Amino acid sequence: MLNSMTGFGGVESKLKPAGKISVEIRSTNHKFLEIVLHVPEGFMSLEDKIKKEIEAKLKRGRVVCSVNINGAQSDEVFINKKLLKKYVSAVKNIQSEFSLKNGVSVDALIKLPGVLALEEKNIEKAVLWPQIKGLLLKALEDLTIMRRKEGRVLQTILIRYARGLKGEIESVRKRFKKAVSEKTAVLKSDEERSSFLKDSDITEEIERLFCHTSSLLQKLNKPGPVGKELDFIAQEMQREANTIGAKSCDTLISAKVVQMKSQIEKIREQVQNIE
């Protein structure tokens, strides 16, 4: 079953004994697995554990995981004296520059953002990790379900494109046989016919393109990450189609190649989304 590289998972829970904790994880397309973590200050030591859990579930994509922890507040009031001094200094500068006489009351100062706050109780990381892990696994499960659901849609689209392309390849194969017969019939010598076939024969390219398309269809039903393999196959399909177009001696084949290349380009675009 194919998996997309795009998805989202998020979960929130009460923090024991009090407070709140949330985990959000989202992924987008990427050539490899890239993990970006956002954890609260003081919890950097948990990053390796979080990465290992993600790596066990995902193989490709740019993954951004955010962990937010709001601990229980204590009864202790915290005064941000450093910030308060900056406020007072700024007020004095304003008074001096604009010749203002009225001062600023204490009541006004303590209402300024960040001056007063209730201190949060310290939370032991070792005690908190099992709860973070549980939420992380649930968020990863939601993310995986979304990636799998989108993967099924991509699989259906790619199968339709690939089957349509095989039909077009068959049309080119039949047309080429007819075009060769018509062209060689008007050539006067074996040398001319040999030269024509040497420059215009696309039999091998047609067969390789057909095989690549069949391989693509097989890979679409292969379990596990196949995005890189599909991308390589699609590149080879494009290369063969370009060669067929360059060697074509028939306007009908050339027109059909344009349609084939458009179909292959659609395949390549969708393949970029697969894990």
pLDDT digits (tens, 9 = 90+) for 111-132: 788 777 645 455 667 778 999 9
Same domain assignment for residues 194 and 267: yes
Which residue in the block uniquely carries the two structure tokens 């939420």?
Answer: 135
Q: How far separated are the first and last CA of the chain, in Å rounded?
A: 11
The angle at the Cα of 51, spanning 130 to 134, to the nearest 5 degrees, equals 25
Q: Is the pTM of this model over 0.75?
A: no
Q: How many domains does the chain have?
A: 3
Residues 41 and 78 in one domain: no
Strand partners, 4: 274
| Tens-place pLDDT, residues 209-260 | 999 999 999 999 888 899 999 999 999 999 999 999 998 888 999 999 999 9
Low-confidence ranges of the chain (pLDDT < 70): 16-18, 71-78, 117-124
Q: Are residues 33 and 142 in the same domain?
A: yes
Kindly state whether residue 1 falls inside one of the protein's structural domains.
no
Question: Of 121, 111, 118, 115, which Cα lies nearest the Cα of 80?
Answer: 115
Give whole-number Cα distances, 193 to 31, 97, 116, 180, in Å: 47, 95, 92, 9
Return the SS3 of 112.
Answer: coil
